[in-house]
């Protein structure tokens, strides 16, 4: 059944996202916590308590559902579940099972990311994401998670943004190559403490080598197989950081190379999956001598980057054309202190999704980044992506207008489905328009 106003399928996922290390706090057995506290660290500040989502997940999930959302994407922390190699914490497995149960209690579909950048410190000490055995370790972890709580997961994402380091390399972020690590204080400090050479220190979201690509792809496949062994019906994919790659005169060759290496290579590798998660924030314009500046007069986000929500439509269409599988927008958002800008951005992004759906592209959900103003990796707490503000002195949550606006879209969609007599279908099945 359809309504005249909505191209969105009946089972469309409307949600917000978070990542464990960014919101939970005190993830002390992870490689990221370790790197944050090293001399010469690239992190502007440590994560510490974050927004204490580890203890406040019940009230946070209730708040997300109360705003009208139907989906919550969050990540499991491998470093909590397996803090030492081969030791799986029953207490932490039970914790994440309770998080999943809370989602179901509030009518939220849990979209679960098994690895969102942070890994156990013991894995980093073994060579991290450039060592082939990492795929085996990751599959073992996925197997243990699925055995404990797999029946409660709605959608499974193996790895978050495995292509991001290859994009960051183009932006000049150091650490991607083995050679650059030898000259970086953070990697030197890490190597000294781990009894490695700096070039052997390979955390997931810093390294961009041929070896790391092979390990990530092998881990994705092994993790997917471990998940499917427990739940053949569970939709499984990975999520990709795909930007709209453009160029000005002289930048054609570099743009084409980056498009192939960062976007197309990983989309081709997604073809056997149930879906691909697309995570787009804007466009990247290449010039002859590197990145082109934002166009004159363009509105800018907190980081001085162009606000360009139209990029999402380009990356969805690219994913549809190359991967040929369903798409879920698993992240999309704006870093800004001006929530009016965020509402405008979200409105334009949702229109992009609607345009793709109207052309018959199978888009299964729109999940905004992020649920809360949280820890943004090397940038610390300065970047405000959240639809919900957090006072980190009191941990008080305050939904912004953007949270109410996007939540109202979810409510309107649910009302349209109910009015048409529709029912919710499983993600793995072909969606029916509402």
Handedness of CA 333, 335, 340, 344 (dihedral sign): negative
**Which residues make Cβ contacts (< 8 Å) with residue 28, sequence separation at least 6?**
none
Tell me, yes or no, if 252 is annotated catalytic. no
Q: Which two tokens stand for residue 44?
A: 């502007």
How far apart are alpha carbons 258 and 51 in whole angstroms?
A: 35
Q: Which two tokens stand for residue 337?
A: 């202190």
Q: How many residues does the chain have?
A: 434
Q: Phi and psi at residue 416, in whole multiples of 5°?
A: -65, -40
From the list 36, 161, 170, 344, the catalytic residue is 161
3-class SS of residue 347: helix
Residue 6 pairs in a beta bridge with 3
End-to-end CA distance of the chain: 6
- Specify whether the CB–CB gap between 267 and 323 falls below 8 A: yes
How far apart are alpha carbons 433 and 221 in whole angstroms?
A: 32
- Specify whether the CB–CB gap between 13 and 363 falls below 8 A: no
Catalytic site positions: 161
């Amino acid at each position: 059944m359809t309504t005249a106003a909505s191209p969105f399928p009946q089972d469309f996922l409307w949600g917000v996202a978070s990542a464990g290390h960014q919101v939970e706090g005190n993830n002390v057995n992870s490689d990221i916590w370790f790197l944050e506290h090293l001399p010469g660290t690239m992190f502007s500040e440590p994560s510490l308590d974050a927004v204490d989502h580890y203890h406040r997940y019940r009230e946070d999930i209730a708040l997300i559902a109360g705003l009208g959302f139907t989906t919550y994407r969050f990540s499991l922390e491998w470093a909590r579940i397996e803090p030492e190699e081969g030791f799986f914490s029953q207490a932490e497995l039970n914790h994440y099972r309770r998080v999943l149960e809370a989602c179901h209690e509030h009518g939220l579909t849990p979209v679960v990311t098994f690895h969102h950048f942070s890994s156990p410190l013991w894995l980093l000490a073994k060579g991290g994401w450039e060592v082939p055995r990492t795929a085996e370790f990751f599959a073992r972890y996925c197997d243990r998670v699925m055995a404990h709580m797999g029946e409660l997961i709605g959608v499974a994402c193996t790895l978050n943004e495995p292509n991001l380091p290859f994009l960051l390399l183009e932006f000049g972020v150091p650490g991607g190559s083995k050679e650059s690590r030898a000259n970086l204080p953070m990697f030197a400090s890490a190597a000294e403490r781990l009894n490695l050479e700096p070039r052997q220190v390979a955390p997931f979201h810093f390294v961009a080598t041929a070896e790391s690509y092979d390990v990530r792809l092998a881990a994705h496949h092994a993790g997917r197989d471990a998940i499917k062994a427990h739940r053949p019906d569970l939709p499984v994919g990975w999520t990709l950081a795909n930007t709209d790659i453009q160029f000005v005169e002289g930048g054609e060759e570099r743009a084409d190379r980056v498009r192939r290496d960062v976007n197309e290579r990983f989309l081709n590798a997604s073809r056997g999956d149930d879906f691909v998660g697309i995570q787009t924030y804007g466009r990247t314009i290449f010039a002859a001598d590197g990145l082109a500046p934002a166009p004159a007069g363009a509105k800018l986000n907190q980081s001085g980057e162009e606000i360009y929500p139209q990029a999402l439509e380009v990356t969805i269409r690219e994913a549809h054309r190359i991967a040929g599988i369903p798409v879920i927008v698993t992240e999309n958002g704006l870093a800004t202190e001006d929530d009016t800008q965020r509402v405008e951005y979200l409105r334009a992004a949702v229109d992009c999704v609607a345009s793709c759906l109207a052309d018959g592209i199978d888009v299964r959900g729109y999940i905004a980044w992020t649920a809360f103003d949280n820890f943004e990796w090397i940038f610390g707490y300065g970047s405000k992506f959240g639809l919900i503000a957090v006072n980190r002195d009191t941990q008080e949550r305050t939904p912004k207008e953007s949270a109410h606006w996007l939540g109202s879209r979810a409510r309107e969609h649910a009302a349209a489905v109910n009015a048409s007599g529709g029912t919710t279908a499983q993600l793995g099945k072909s969606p029916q328009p509402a």
